[in-house]
Amino acid sequence: MIGPADVLLRRRNLVAPELMTADSRWTTPKQKASAADGVAALEGELLQYGFLLSAELRHALAALPVPELARAGRSLLHAAAARLGADVHHVPLFRKFPESVPRDTGDFFVRRVFTLLLQEPRRPCVLCGKVGTVHPVAPCAHLVCRSCWDGSDFSACPICHRRIDPADPFLIPTAGRQRGARVTTYDTTLLRLCPDATAAARELAVSMLSRQTPMPVEDRDDLMALLDAYWPLSAGWLPEVVPVKETRAIALAAALTAPGLTPPRRVGPGARGVRAPLRVARPDLGAAEELLARHLGTATDVLRLMYVLMGADPGLRIRPERRVSLPRPLRRRLLGALDGFALPYLIEDLHRHGEQWKHMAEVLHPHEQHARHPDAALAFAALRGTRLDPASAFGAALLERAAAHPELLVVRDGRLRVTTFASHVEKALAAKDGERALTLLARRPGELGRRLSQLLRLSPELVTGSLEPALGSIAPGVLMSALGQLRTPPGGTRLFLPRGGSARFHTRDDERAPLPEDAAAIAAELIRGELLRRAAALPTLSCALLDEGLADLVAPTSERAATTALVRLTRGSVQPIPGEQVVRLFLHWAEPAGTRVDLDLSAAVFDTRWRFVGLCDYTSLRLGDDAAVHSGDLTSAPEPLGSSEFVDLDVSKLARLGGRYVVPVVFSYNDVPFEELVRGFAGFMRAPDGLFDPLAVQQRFDLAGEAKILVPLVADLWAGTMRWADLNLSASGRFHSVAGSSAELARLGEAMESAFGVGARVTLWEVACWHAAARAGSVLVRGGGRVLRFLRREDEPVAAFAGRLAVSAGGVEDTGAFAEVEWAALVTGDVELGAGAQAYALFPGGLGEARRIDAADLVSGLGAGT
């Protein structure tokens, strides 16, 4: 179960000793060493994971009694190891990987099949003819010759590749692999003392509650943990407005759930967001009443709250596994909230999520309260198509109420039929009636922003004349998405990522008519002007620091489906491939008792035109002249060891094979979704020292959700970059492999390059330039090994200054003294900033005493109403 100490450490690199020493998860053996010796030992172990202790934190830990220091140290070490994937033992099929991987995968397979089919007990080995060397291994009972198969190299049954009993005599212990001398330097992260855990938790929770873009599951879990741990104090942390409805549902669910009743998350990242139903411990509502009245603004808000209380996703993508009964006072309060909404909006909201509401109606029992809550009862009757008998008191009352809304409700065959706002909009668009569509959408600025490119193609003059008044009410994520669409050139491939339990994609050639250039340029300028206006309303800065490398990072306009990862990248973002010759991919998973899970780590290689070049997987353990080497196919992963697979990629050798693009894939071979894993994660390392080197880990990401096939990234060997994909492929049937999905992988990779490679999406560089130009008169920009200073000229418009920053025009070289910096947006946080500064960094590293902010905070700072 996560707590505030875990959240503060992971998100802010802050260590709160008083929370860690109270953590009952960590037992304390008897200690004879002094606290100073303990801190020194702790520092040495943390360095193995790339973490350093600040001076203040070191002194605070040294002041702890030895038992408390031991608990805090164990907690710190576990968190550091888990962040990198080093908290488990990684044992591949071939323990001497990569040296002992068979050269001929086909011959290796034939030997296994030959043995399986022909070997009999108490007979000589069918391969070598030796007598007395054949014995069954446990628990699969396959007959294995101790002479033909090396028990000091294999970690599983050589025939079926399932894990076997660690005590089986076939497994011969081997000495640990020695690490070599390091020739590469590694980045380190500074851990700082958290002097006031409550204040730090509040600051983090408020920033998350105020965020104006949807959060990924990891963030929602962290927010729930903070609110739950500090209830009832956390009730006062909620701002007047919580912009994102999913976040709002999390906050209200915490208010209705007593501290400690949030159920523990299942062990393993695959279970993030999957909770047992929450026990509503305040049936009298109490202090939560005011929060419900303030934050339940639509029927969908009510639905999201009910989903969270039942342990489901507030994004409404996955229904609760089971419905739970809500206390009567809460049911009446929720029905009262529904009844208080304007009937057209109430009915439309219910129809927007019709199946979910039909499911929840059996919990609320709206028709039992039709006299007290008539509009709610009427809306559910329209949703469910309930036959209304005018002879009954119930039917007569609802029919009379429906007659007052003829534009919305009509009666056919005794049932209510609804005409929604969305249907009016679709009819206007289908009829190419731009004036009617715009008139309707102007009532809902958010919908106007989402359909902007469609409206521009239909009626460009009307849109540009009506857009400006609506801009002030549109969320920043919607504005940035619209701006990206306006800048996307015609043609190419369109990539669609439907919402759902897993973000399965599909592609389509872009056959739309080009946007009217003049109208698109005017609309784009209006959007940029609105975002700059919002930035100018934020507190002014004396000096800002930017990093040109932010141009490779896509701005996070929505992170609902984002995978939990060590380095948080928005889909489409680009980062350099590690400069070392060999990059090692890794995969680890553990299966639940009674369920065999066979995951496979694979890599597909394509040429510059996305034609298939080759693969490295369980069917081809070595590609070319060791351009790629697989560690062997493990087909089960029982606890406690689990299973690990690795693939080494030699960048130059792959290029010599004619490969340009490499697409790593994680397959669930036997079709078990990732969410059923006890734990599961993957990632890659650069130039590892040994089999699994925590200091070499560059990225680690969880395997989660209903997905069965995950494509984390697409690497371009020619450009020396990788584009973060974080996509799931459709999975039908069993026995998935690269060979059966190569065409789909090629289509995905090509679509990613087409959708994100044209530079149309809004990047963090642009967002940072908007902040800096509108708020600071002096801006420092790092890039190309130098630092340039830009000064806003007298009477220079903010838009012009932002334009100069974006193209790095008009700057003068600077010494790079950063003491004056109050706000920074960087790729690498290797700058010592003061306590009053705010800083975002993709790789946080140090940043001194500056308050860390997330990429989403950069976007949310430009929120509507700023």
Residue 280 Rama label (left phi>0; alpha psi -120 to 50; beta): beta
**Own/partner pairs, 484-489, CB within 8 angstroms, 24+ separation:** 484/760, 484/761, 484/762, 485/452, 485/453, 485/760, 486/452, 486/453, 486/456, 486/515, 486/520, 486/523, 486/524, 486/527, 487/520, 487/524, 487/760, 488/758, 488/760, 489/758, 489/760
| Selection from 714, 742, 740, 741 nearest residue 727 by Cα | 714
Note the pLDDT of residue 565.
87
pLDDT at site 270: 38
At 645, list the tokens.
């697979």
Three-state DSSP at 422 gives helix
Q: What pLDDT, on the 0 to 100 scale, is given for residue 175?
A: 67
| Predicted pLDDT at 265 | 41
pLDDT, position 26: 52
Cβ atoms of 478 and 213 within 8 Å: the answer is: no
742 exposed, middle or buried (CB, 10 Å; 0-12, 13-18, 19+)?
buried
* Nearest alpha-carbon partner for 380 in 661, 295, 394: 394
Q: Which residues of the chain have pLDDT under 50?
A: 183, 260-274, 281, 283, 500-502
What architecture (CATH level 2) is domain 574-756?
Sandwich (2.60)
Give first-to-last CA distance, the chain, whole Å. Answer: 37
Are the C-beta atoms of residues 454 and 426 closer than 8 Å to each other?
no
Domain boundaries of the chain, sorted by first residue: 4-82, 198-324, 336-418, 423-530, 536-554+762-860, 574-756
- Does this model's pTM top 0.95? My answer is no
Tokens 């929770």 belong to residue? 205
Helix axis angle for 299-309 and 328-339, nearest 10°, is: 160
pLDDT in tens, 668-708: 988 898 989 999 999 999 888 889 999 999 999 998 878 88
Classify the C-alpha dihedral 194-199-205-211 as positive or negative.
negative
| SS3 sequence of 512-555 | CCCCCHHHHHHHHHHHHHHHHHHHHCCCCECCEEEEHHHHHCEC
